[in-house]
Amino acid sequence: MTNCRNSNILARCMTASLALTPLLALAQPAEPANNVLTMVADVPMPGPAVRFDYQSFDAVNGRLYIAHMNADQLVVFDTTKREVVANLDGFKRVHGVFAAPEVHRLFASATGDHQVIAVDTQTLKIVGKAGPIDYPDGLAYAPREKKVFVSDEHGGVDAVIDATRNSLLTKIPLGGGAGNTVYDSVSGHILVAVRGVNQLVVIDPATNKILGRYTLPGIENPHGIALDVADHVAFAAGEENHSLAVVDLNAMKVLSTYEVGDDPDVLAFDPGLKRLYVSAESGTVTIFQYGRRKLALLGSFNMPHAHTVAVDPQTHLVYFPLENIDGHPLLRIMRPTGRN
């Protein structure tokens, strides 16, 4: 993930954003989530007040796994009890995390060790490591093939890991920097946002071959991706021009583009409420309502360090790990306003 921007890049971002069509104006920061989200709880997190990164929600077991990147730790949070049940060491500069409850596995990108680590979710013990991978970041799991696909942000490849043997199988050249990698359960394919060339790349997990490369007009340096499986669309965010695209995954074309906060990072989609949450490095959280294959802005607000977000599809609660609030890390839990 890109954590900073110089003034020249920021200037290009502002210029590029003017070219988005259609362009949805970003609402000004307002009181709590512009009345879209309501505070539920602030839960203290273990470890130092340093950066968090990706999260993975395990709806089967009611757990939220959180990468505490600069603490080299994985936090295991029980969403029913609203308490931390474990804080795992040994994950140097952990970025990506992905839970596969069907095989009782958690996969984490130990970027500082250039490896992907496999954890048994029943014992919370490390059971395997695979690499080397230059800069492992986002992760996706293909259940039929039992493979993990890994965004190598600096290496310009998507690395493929055999999840049963915890071994590196191959590296797929992407032609640019790897943004997020996700699994599309409708097509059974892997989707990768590719920076530099501004493409969405489709991979067949059975053959580890690229099936197609699709340009994302209006998106500069795509990174974060979320899917609406029911409508078979993707939401892809452009880091460099604070933009967001709705992509038809059947026709593989951009339907519309929108403006979000500076340097959008992690996206989360609530399939029940059809709400999309876009968190940005700038701390801006933008909330959209999806319907009729387009987005409507519900509101936006600013919250320090809120660059990563997760949502519980059953309770609709939204989770923001915040690295430093009054000198301590915490997990802020919010709910859509008007829902108990």
Are 231 and 248 a contacting pair, CB within 8 Å? no
Q: How far apart are the first and last CA of the chain?
A: 35
pLDDT digits (tens, 9 = 90+) for 146-186: 999 999 999 999 999 999 999 999 999 999 999 999 999 99
Are 58 and 105 a contacting pair, CB within 8 Å? no
With a cut of 50, say whether residue 17 has pLDDT above it: no
Q: Which two tokens stand for residue 47?
A: 């470890």
What secondary structure letter does DSSP report for 35? G
Q: Which two tokens stand for residue 202?
A: 């489709």
Alpha-carbon span 60 to 112, nearest angstrom: 30
pLDDT at 339: 80
With a cut of 60, say whether residue 28 has pLDDT above it: no
Q: How confident is the model at residue 18 (pLDDT cuts 50, 70, 90)?
A: very low
Residue 281 carries which side chain, given as an amino acid letter? Answer: E
Alpha-carbon span 36 to 297, nearest angstrom: 10
pLDDT digits (tens, 9 = 90+) for 31-81: 344 589 999 999 999 999 999 999 999 999 999 999 999 999 999 999 999
